[in-house]
Amino acid sequence: MFLWRIQGASAQKITWNQHIAPIIHANCTPCHKKGDAAPFELVTYDDVAKRATFIKQVTQSRYMPPWKADSHYASFANERRLKDEEIAMIAEWADNKMPKGKEVAGQPEHFLEGTHYHRKPDTVLQMPRAFHIKGDNKERFIVYKIPYEMAQDMNVEAIEFVSNNRKVIHHANYEIDAVPDLDIYAGTDYINLTEDDREKYIQYVPFRQHMIYYGGWIPGATCESYPKNIGWILPKRGVILLTLHYAPVGKDEDNISGIQLFFTKTPVKREIRAVSFGSGGVGQKDIDPYFYIPADAVKTFRLKVTVPEDQSIMYVWPHMHYIGKTFKAFGVTPTGDTVKMVSVTDWSYNWQEVYWYSKLLKLPKGTVIHIEATYDNTAANPANPSSPPRLIYSSGDMKSTDEMLTLVMLYLTYEKEDETISLKNENIMK
């Protein structure tokens, strides 16, 4: 990489204490710490110095920190990317034999346990029984049903994924469904998407037609909270469908996960809503062409949906499975302007996440949202789960070796000057 060298800066020696520790602690430690999914800790000088060359490589190639969305296309509040100068500093430090430098007072050595929010949660809704993960080095995808009942509807100001064993979880998503009339306790506790559980899965379909909220977690993610007056209402009775992607493990493990909620007495003035487009959601039948991918084909699918009122978008969550390659969403307004929403150019099933806009994003009434995704079902795609490739068909269910084309959005009805409302939140700690 070529960088302009400024006299003063290059004369200064890059040291761990002064320069490198703050970069690592802010950008790497949230995942590379005890109990999280990353394979080793990056906390102390020794942790980092002994892997300096490796760290130089993975930061220069931008493999780490993982961030799949194209930051030139759209910018996000939760963006995880190192600046070019930071990458250059790490390289220079590694090349100069990792000087430690003088201690700097007040460096964070402790990372918060329990919550990332600025106060304790009001309630935790968790899996009623632990899930047992066999140590057979296989991946697992589980949808766990968590039924709950409260005394009344509750105003939510923040929500956070929690787990007793985060290191076995590669990612998690949760949807909250309001189901006053359905039997939330009948049927199975969970379904296993890795095995052929279609019959069982059908049990959860009625719940999924009443989605109130949708959230996501990957290692390093914190909690979801919202600007002033904005929130959502947890219905008094419902289910949480918690999708867990368990990483392969070599010895048996147990896991209990759930969500914790932070309520407020102040009534929510502006209610957040969630919508899911594509497979299993709105417009499933309108995906063009018909959603199946023959063996050995590379195919692109499109879905167009029209926005029914002026809206402010909070986040987008693009979703495909293993053979997804690229994903793009943009709006075309009635006056012909393009609103760039998200572009992922090298999709990885392992690094899917919820992309929060830096500021509320306006989509005027009548805007057509274009969703476009390309899938590579050839043997040349190393992520193809089938060898030789097989016909991939999806009826909107979530089996991991089938495919999906889905975009989930959180949104509000637009109000004047929403474009100035920032979604960065000071109440969340890393």
Please tell me whether residue 55 binds ligand HEC under the rule CB under 6 A. Answer: yes
Sequence-ordered list of residues with C-beta below 8 angstroms from that of 32, at least 6 positions apart, any chain: 38, 40, 41, 42, 43, 47
CB distance 77 to 356 below 8 Å: yes
b or e along 166-197 (b: 16 or more beta carbons within 10 Å of the residue's beta carbon)? bbbbbbbbbbbbbbeebebeeeeebbbbbeeb
Q: How far is the CB of 24 from ligand HEC (least distance, A)?
A: 6
Question: Among 59-67, 127-135, 258-266, 276-284, which window interacts with ligand HEC (CB under 6 A)?
Answer: 59-67
For ligand HEC, the closer of residues 54 and 393 by Cβ is: 54
Q: Which of 3, 50, 54, 187 is in the footprint of ligand HEC by CB under 6 A?
A: 54
Please tell me whether residue 30 binds ligand HEC under the rule CB under 6 A. Answer: yes
Q: Is the dihedral of CA 195, 196, 198, 203 positive or negative?
A: negative
Please tell me whether residue 80 binds ligand HEC under the rule CB under 6 A. Answer: yes
Q: How far is the CB of 89 from ligand HEC (least distance, A)?
A: 11
**What residues from 282 to 321 belong to the interface with ligand HEC (CB under 6 A)?**
none
Please tell me whether residue 27 binds ligand HEC under the rule CB under 6 A. Answer: yes
CB distance 352 to 398 below 8 Å: no
For ligand HEC, the closer of residues 68 and 321 by Cβ is: 68
Please spell the DSSP secondary structure of 72-97, one letter per residue. TT--BTT-----HHHHHHHHHHHHTT
Q: How far is the CB of 247 from ligand HEC (least distance, A)?
A: 8
Please spell the DSSP secondary structure of 199-227, one letter per residue. HHHGGGHHHHTTEEEEEEE-TT---EE--
Q: How far is the CB of 113 from ligand HEC (least distance, A)?
A: 17
Q: How far lies 229's CA from each of 23, 213, 225, 266, 412, in Å? A: 34, 17, 11, 8, 12
Please tell me whether residue 26 binds ligand HEC under the rule CB under 6 A. Answer: no
Q: Which of 43, 64, 162, 404 is in the footprint of ligand HEC by CB under 6 A?
A: 64
Angle of CA points 181, 186, 191, to nearest 5°: 115
Please tell me whether residue 68 binds ligand HEC under the rule CB under 6 A. Answer: no
How long is the chain?
430
State the virtual CA torsion across 74, 80, 81, 86 in degrees, nearest 10. 150
CB distance 377 to 293 below 8 Å: yes
Question: Among 12-20, 36-44, 325-333, 422-430, which window interacts with ligand HEC (CB under 6 A)?
Answer: 36-44
Q: Alpha helices, DSSP H only, in 75-196?
A: 84-95
Question: Among 24-32, 115-123, 154-162, 321-329, which window interacts with ligand HEC (CB under 6 A)?
Answer: 24-32
Please tell me whether residue 66 binds ligand HEC under the rule CB under 6 A. Answer: yes
- Cis peptide before 318, with omega less than 30 degrees from 0? no
Question: Among 22-30, 92-100, 365-373, 385-393, which window interacts with ligand HEC (CB under 6 A)?
Answer: 22-30
Q: Which of 25, 32, 68, 145 is in the footprint of ligand HEC by CB under 6 A?
A: 32
Torsional class of 7: left (φ above 0), alpha (ψ -120 to 50), beta (otherwise): alpha
Look up tokens 């506790």; give the residue: 189
Question: Among 14-22, 60-68, 189-197, 321-329, which window interacts with ligand HEC (CB under 6 A)?
Answer: 60-68
Please tell me whether residue 58 binds ligand HEC under the rule CB under 6 A. Answer: yes
CB distance 406 to 280 below 8 Å: yes
Beta 406-413 vs 311-319: how paired, if at all? antiparallel
Q: How far is the CB of 255 from ligand HEC (least distance, A)?
A: 16
For ligand HEC, the closer of residues 219 and 235 by Cβ is: 219
CB distance 66 to 351 below 8 Å: yes
* CA 387 to the chain's CA centroid: 29
Sequence-ordered list of residues with C-beta below 8 angstroms from that of 115, at least 6 positions apart, any chain: 121, 160, 162, 223, 260
Number of residues that bind ligand HEC (CB under 6 A): 22
Q: What x/- string results for residues 197 through 226 when contact with ligand HEC is judged by CB under 6 A? A: ---------------------xxx------
Please tell me whether residue 69 binds ligand HEC under the rule CB under 6 A. Answer: no
Q: How far is the CB of 169 from ligand HEC (least distance, A)?
A: 10
Q: What x/- string results for residues 100 through 129 when contact with ligand HEC is judged by CB under 6 A? A: ------------------------------
Q: How far is the CB of 112 from ligand HEC (least distance, A)?
A: 16
Binding residues for ligand HEC (CB under 6 A): 27-28, 30-32, 37-39, 42, 51, 54-55, 58-59, 64-66, 80, 82, 218-220
